[in-house]
Structure 1
């Protein structure tokens, strides 16, 4: 059954998100650059057209996420130091930390910041970085995260972020009485939105034959991992003992591991057959486009 038969009421993930999943599973740590035609062939299995793939490759190269490597008339794309860091962070979030925080030690990171009203862009940028790092807003410039977070990357000084570090204060500690931790979590984090994302994942994947219209296990694996990465990148790993009963991330993570065991070997065999590549220097030495 071809990729064109996929149910279009269930739209394919964005091409760049699929690309990052592919790179994280089949390119990172290999010091290779992949022929552009291989990307087209792989993502065509998910109904993503050639124009969308070429546009995605061009945009990612322009943003320093891919490095171009020409061999004769053929263009290949490899990782950069920046994209490798992003991919390794995603790998750690999925397989080492996971989505379920069942062993929380009760410690919080509390961050506060003040900025001039004219710093609207900088304020938006810092808030985006804080969400990425697992923080939620309590109001009045105070943000919390349910773990000990190293914020050095979040408030990295220099460049356009110059001045962040001087305007941020960070504390670590536990919540004391009369703090209602469950209520604080509900105030600072979008629990309904997080739960809805995991329930949508379960609706698609917690069934005997998930995504039956997909042509093979590579297509299923890429789709599943892309969807899961989208969830864990916005999930602050809240302590499960303070979450609503039957928190859907628990079952969703079980399904992820079950399906990984089912799909991974076959998906890798298909990917190895489809990928044409050339060896390149490690990403730290490759020159981005």
Structure 2
């Protein structure tokens, strides 16, 4: 995993909503256990400060790092994806969000940015400038943030006609083999994993790899996916391993992490 991803998992697990900052020394120690060098950790801390993901809090000769509003929002979104949304959409209400857009050739960069944001938000292309996503997705917010509201039209609560083959539509609009491969890779790594020697590093890596597996999953309705879709088994493995690692990791973290409260 990238050092920044592990760093965010560390803060998201042990600092988010606790008003806590972590010392540079303890961050270096934890990431070192996960295979990240001291140099890489220090460079990552500096970059994350520059990107408004962390803020410095010097105390005497020590340097502490805390979350910013931006990183707090990112971590809350990641927490919701992991623990609330999940990887299996078995409560789909049958509706779709549709977005139609038309951009001139001179706006190629804007088109690329829009497509990237749509893919991240669960949309898939049906044809031309028509994209769909299951359920209610804030598409209008996406195009507004990109300054493209005048070039797009959004439709909510759309339903497919009974003659539409939704399985075929989903297979055309989404790269199902690539999505499945993410879960299969996660299963291959963690399905038979035993209690590691360093539960803190293992827990952070586990959460980071699971978030990487689900972050681009559009959460397609399970009734229209292949019967052997691996998301369900992968999610069970994640939750079982995370539960097993949680208390041992917390014990290590309590002993290792040097924290500073917001009132400190």
TM range (shorter): over 0.9
What 5-or-longer segments of structure 1 have no aligned partner?
Answer: 1-12, 282-289
Q: Report matched runs for 1:23-172 at 5 Å.
A: 23-157=11-145, 161-162=146-147, 164-172=148-156
The answer to whether the 8 A contact 1:45-1:215 is kept is no
In 1, the alpha carbon distance for the partners of 2:152 and 2:55 equals 35
How many residues get paired? 262
In 2, the alpha carbon distance for the partners of 1:260 and 1:46 equals 16
Residue in 2 that maps onto 1:7 = none
Deviation at 1:263, TM superposition (A): 0.8
Residue in 1 that maps onto 2:259 = 277
The answer to whether the 8 A contact 2:140-2:154 is kept is no
Q: 1:33-69, CA deviations, whole angstroms, 9 ceiling, x for partnerless residues?
A: 1111111000111111001111111111111111111
The answer to whether the 8 A contact 1:134-1:234 is kept is yes
Q: 1:178-235, CA deviations, whole angstroms, 9 ceiling, x for partnerless residues?
A: 211001111111100111110111111111527xxx5311111111110000011100
Residue in structure 2 matching 1:190, options 162, 166, 175: 175
Residue in 2 that maps onto 1:10 = none
Deviation at 1:16, TM superposition (A): 1.0
Deviation at 1:136, TM superposition (A): 1.1
Residue in structure 2 matching 1:177, options 156, 162, 176: 162
Residue in 2 that maps onto 1:6 = none
What 5-or-longer segments of structure 2 have no aligned partner?
Answer: none
Residue in 2 that maps onto 1:231 = 213
Deviation at 1:139, TM superposition (A): 2.6
Q: Which has the higher helix share?
A: 2
In 1, the alpha carbon distance for the partners of 2:35 and 2:59 equals 28
Residue in 2 that maps onto 1:284 = none
Deviation at 1:152, TM superposition (A): 4.2
- Deviating 4+ runs (over 4 angstroms): none
The answer to whether the 8 A contact 1:101-1:237 is kept is yes
Q: Report matched runs for 1:201-212 at 5 Å.
A: 201-207=186-192, 209=194
Residue in 1 that maps onto 2:203 = 221
Other structure's SS at 2:25 match: helix
State the TM-score, normalized to the length of structure 1. Answer: 0.87
In structure 2, do the counterparts of structure 1 residues 19 and 152 end up closer, same or farther at CA, with 3 Å as the change threshold?
A: farther
Deviation at 1:265, TM superposition (A): 1.4
In 1, the alpha carbon distance for the partners of 2:209 and 2:237 equals 13
